[in-house]
Amino acid sequence: MSSSTQSQSQTTQTQTYNVKVYYVIHNDDFYSRHLQPIIVRYIGRIYNIFMKNRIGKSDMYYIINDKTYVKLWRDYKGHLLTFISDKSSSPMFFVRDADIIQVDENIIYEHDMRRLRCTNKDVILKGFDIIKALDEVEPELLPPTFVLLCYRLL
């Protein structure tokens, strides 16, 4: 197969998603029986995330570090909702097994197009610029945000 034919077949397999993003002031607590830890291993680094399983609603994902967290979830229309705040100072304990997400390939974000290039899909983010906000507030949260957007939320 020639390289141009290979490129065409790869291009036809890539789906493009246009996603409207909203910033929502949505304070909540971290206490629930329905929390599950998620460990993301992205190109040699480990990130901690937890998911709040909400009955009858979409799950909420919290990406945390020692200072800040970002919360991501989908509404019933499929929009991406987000909130950024200070991390809770209390320790968190989980009884459910951790879900492990292993990503070895680089996820590319094109700032000018606001396009996230994932394996077999491109995600174009419209509305609130969550990537720019995280880049200014807490850039360390960008890699796990990319992973969640590519492999869980979209």
Task: Give SS3 for 139.
Answer: helix
Name the residue ranges covered by the structural domains of the chain. 13-153
pLDDT digits (tens, 9 = 90+) for 86-145: 876 677 788 889 999 999 999 999 999 999 999 889 999 999 999 999 999 999 999 999
pLDDT at 88: 64
CA-wise closest residue to 48 among 33, 69, 27, 30: 69
Between CA 144 and CA 45 the distance in angstroms is 10
